[in-house]
Amino acid sequence: MRITIDLKIFLFALIFVITKQIEFYAILMIYAVIHELGHLFWGLILKLKPEAFSITPFGLQISFKTEPNLYNTKIKNGTKLCLKKMSLALAGPLTNFIIALILIILNNIELYKNSIFFGEIAIYANILIGIFNLIPIYPLDGGRILKEIISIRSGIKKSYYYINKISNITMICLMFISSILLLYIHNIAILIILVYLGYLVIKQNKIYKIKSRLINAIE
């Protein structure tokens, strides 16, 4: 099992310290880790084996081993695996939404109302993490879910093609929306998230080109 640490986490932490938003960043990191534990819990229920753990600027990322020979939607087991991976991707955001609901209930109790990790900021953080991960950009959960849906309907080759196009279009739309938001909301966190998403899209574009060549070579 591989364990890796993305050193950009220290750069992000430094930026949030300078902008005096380190408290909110710490809360985001804690609930982002819980988000990944939701993936881990559901993955173990599905009898998938964890393959790698990565500590990133936005929490923990867990990947699972899958059998490539089963990832063929023309056979029953291939479709079954796609459905498993869809539910696995959904488990993380669902974990955050459930936590947010619990925190809303707890927020009515005086003991938890003004707590940093249980109060309104924590509720906002969980909703933000859940929605952020459902953005249709691969490899975010939303992108993974959409990729598996396309794979079931059109096959793995087209799923890579379409999710790559959708990710790039979504990124362009987010850049436009974020540019407008930054004019009215002077929050560096928006810029940091945008830069991180851009990094993911550029990285996946390179991976897509490699996978596309491999698939074409096999065919």
Sketch the domain layout of the chain as residue ranges. Answer: 1-65+92-133, 135-219
Q: How many CA atoms within 13 Å lie on the side-chain side of 118?
A: 13
| pLDDT at 71 (0 to 100) | 45
Low-confidence residues in the chain, pLDDT < 50 = 69-76
Residue 75: per-residue pLDDT: 45
Query: What CA–CA distance (Å, rounded) separates 25 from 45?
Result: 30
160-217 pLDDT per residue, tens: 889 999 999 999 999 898 888 877 777 777 777 888 888 889 988 988 888 777 766 6
Give the tokens for residue 181: 């938001």
- Classify each residue of 54-68 as buried b or exposed e, where b means 16 or more C-beta atoms within 10 Å of its C-beta: ebbbbbbbbbbeeee
Structure tokens at 28: 């985001």
Quote the percentage of the chain above a pLDDT of 90. Answer: 25
Residue type, 56: T
Which helix (H) or strand (E) is 141 found in, with range? helix 141-154
The distance in angstroms from the start CA to the end CA of the chain is 31
* Res 20: pLDDT: 74
Sheet of strand 59-65: strand arrangement: 2-5, 49-56, 59-65
The answer to whether the beta carbons of residues 148 and 89 sit under 8 Å apart is yes
Reference 100, options 87, 117, 81; nearest CA is 117
User: Which pLDDT value is given to residue 110?
Assistant: 62
Question: How many Cα atoms within 13 Å fall on the side-chain side of residue 159?
Answer: 20
- For residue 125, the tally of other CB atoms under 10 A from its CB is 24
